Amino acid sequence: MPYRITVDVGGTFTDVVLTDELGGVSVGKAPTTPERAFDGIHGGLEVIAAERGREVGELLAETELFVYSTTRATNAIIEKKTARTAFLTTAGFPDVLVLREGGKASAFDFETPYPEPYVPRRLTFEVPERINSAGEVVKPLDEGSVRETARRLAALEVEAVAVCLLWSIVNPTHELRVGEILAAELPGVAVTLSHALSPVLREYRRASTTAIDASLKPMMAEHLRRVAADLEAAGFRGELLGATSFGGVMHLDDLAERPVYAAKSGPALAPVAGRVYGEAELGARDVVVCDMGGTSFDVSLVLDGAVNFTRTTWLGGTYVGHLLATSSVDVRSIGAGGGSIAWIDPGGLLRVGPESAGAVPGPACYGRGGERPTVTDAALHLGYLDPEGFLGGRMKLDVEAAARVIGELGEGLGISADEAASAVLTVANDHMYAAVAEITVNEGLDPRDSLLVAGGGAAGLTIGRIAQEFGCRHVLVPRTAGALSAMGGQFSDVVAEFSETHLTDTASFDFAGVEAVLEQLDRRAEEFAARLHARGIEATRTEYAVEARYAYQVWDLELALPLSRFRDEADVRKLADAFDALHERVYTVSQPGHTIELLTWKARLIGDLEATERLLSSAPPAPRRAEPRRRRAYFPETGWTEVPVHDGAALAPGDAVAGPALVTEPSSTLVVYPGMQARVSEHNNYLVETGRE
């Protein structure tokens, strides 16, 4: 039986999802192994193999498609563990990465130090050349100077080079020639050219994206090669794909060429799964997806049935981090997960996160040397987690260690251990509530009008409280919540995006120029589609978009094009009407008749992997009926009380569980708080009713 396997390697756990052609789904979860990713993957596969009565090698030999997602690229950027990278730019503009675009979170913050540039100033080199905005050569390229710079880079043992010249997006001649010289003078050194990677107008965004991509190439190429080699050695012979930041997948060779697409790739898959589950269960077109793992809490949106995208992704914090200007799923992340450490600040206040215990040593209850209290320790102390059944019984939790570190925290706060544990979850909930509010309420979206979909191994511990606080009637928790991002890989298509910058406006629309740009995008998309067809992926489609803004505005919106070609003024009017409607929806205001500027044109090619219908149309497995066990658990409303503990495998569609109660799955636990009810849906997921109207 042919299988599909998707993997999400997180900071704490590695999630593995296997599906078969009959729609059967198996989930395996194992601690992440930072030294060698395949060890954690193999651990998850062992769980699935045991469930199906097979060997890991047998499963891999029968797997036709394997999707790999990892946080390695994101972590390398934040932890500054990328390659030694040089930055080449037009003479006279060496401070593009230093000055950025200005801005800071608080106008009155005079204490936060100005952030360091992504590439140190000492590794920034000026290239004598100049092309103007019309694409005309103002100053010819000094090739001798470039060769001299290349020799200096060799002496400095540079591993990667980012090249971003002024107006290369209009005329890339000089940038291409610099790339040729570097290839000749520095064989084996990774080079990224800005016009080929991110052809956007704003100089810092293009330069930052180019520098990040170049810095990741040596490390990610080696990492992806090793994963591919380990899988092949274990018996895998199918198609190997990598997850991308825009919620799709691409072949591993393509991802190694543009590793910047691997940054934030794991969280980008969660809204893909949330969209599918939300629409299948309740026909929801607007979905708020909350993904709480061991290290972070990620929030994303699905609006009118489409995953919400952005071209402004900060890695390491807004303004103080580093900016990616490639299209990516709009995911907001905070340091609040099961491994988030609880601590007392100098003022005596309880804090949770952003520091995480990670996979090593992990929470104190893991018994791996962790000595600081975490959200997981608090949940165990409150009775929400089964110490003998964690990860399906494969990991025994140390109740005494959790009680000790939580007790010490309580002593520092002057309260009991029970109150301290409950307070840890409350503070963590407040952080997560704020994260959801930032992407919804702060941007004009009422969460009560959307469906909340929760995922991640730790989401079931807290999501009921968060939904209740917002006033939401219900929240959907999939059976596969513990591996939501990995499940998103099962629903993902192969996606490749191509873009070209061409400035025009609706008042004086450049029909010939736009036609030439769209034809160029079509050629690039068709070339990629031919490669997919050669690999057996026949069903493809192309979607078009443009970044647009009202004249004199600073920031733009991505608008899905209502047409693939523009022939006359009536077509331009359709585009303007669509932008007015988009601006009204996002900002609750529009300016019909006002001139609209159109900047960057995009074509997004999608290769359909045809997984969604197969997985959702299958009948759920027959439940293994069993009476619920009983366990003591602590709730602020009731104190310590005996509650039923339901095995998820014993629940069938239509069954309801009234709170307070616990529902256990092999990779997650759902806490049904007092006054709430969890009902098993038609597709065998949990719909938690909060009691709010």
Q: Over the stretch 197-207, which tens digit does the pLDDT of each residue have?
A: 988 888 999 99
Q: What confidence score (pLDDT) does residue 337 get?
A: 79
Which residue in 271, 339, 263 sits closest to 306, CA to CA?
A: 271
Residue 302 clears pLDDT 60, i.e. is over it: yes
Give residue 51's pLDDT band: very low, low, confident or very high (50, 70, 90). Answer: confident
Give residue 335's pLDDT band: very low, low, confident or very high (50, 70, 90). Answer: confident
Which stretch of DSSP H or E encloses residue 281? helix 265-282
**How far, in Å, are 9, 267, 331, 573 from residue 243 at the CA level?**
11, 10, 15, 37
Which residue in 19, 18, 43 sits closest to 230, CA to CA?
A: 43
Q: What confidence score (pLDDT) does residue 684 get?
A: 87
CA dihedral over 72, 73, 77, 78, signed as positive or negative: negative
Q: What is the largest CA-CA distance in the chain?
A: 81
At 632-668, the pLDDT tens digits run 999 998 999 999 999 988 898 899 999 899 999 888 8
Mean pLDDT of the chain: 89
At 425-472, the pLDDT tens digits run 999 999 888 888 888 887 778 888 888 999 888 888 889 999 988 888
Q: What are phi and psi of 26, to 5 degrees?
A: -125, 140
Q: How far is residue 408's CA from residue 342's CA, in Å, rounded to a whole number?
A: 11
pLDDT, mean of residues 665-689: 90
More confident residue, 99 or 608: 99
At 546-571, the pLDDT tens digits run 999 999 898 888 899 998 899 999 99
The amino acid at 356: S
pLDDT, mean of residues 416-424: 94
Q: What confidence score (pLDDT) does residue 148 get?
A: 97
pLDDT, mean of residues 337-358: 87
At 5-28, the pLDDT tens digits run 999 998 778 999 998 887 788 888
At 478-500, the pLDDT tens digits run 988 888 888 888 888 888 888 88
Q: How far is residue 344's CA from residue 351's CA, in Å, rounded to a whole number?
A: 6
Say how many C-beta atoms besides its own lie within 10 A of residue 576's C-beta. 22
**How far, in Å, are 88, 150, 174, 650 from residue 145 at the CA level?**
12, 9, 13, 72
Which residue in 466, 421, 469 sits closest to 636, CA to CA?
A: 421
Q: What confidence score (pLDDT) does residue 107 get?
A: 80
Say how many C-beta atoms besides its own lie within 10 A of residue 408's C-beta. 16
The amino acid at 297: F
Q: How far is residue 242's CA from residue 231's CA, in Å, rounded to a whole number?
A: 13
| Portion of the chain with pLDDT greater than 70, in percent | 97
Q: Is 185 exposed, middle or buried (0-12, 13-18, 19+ CB in 10 A)?
A: middle
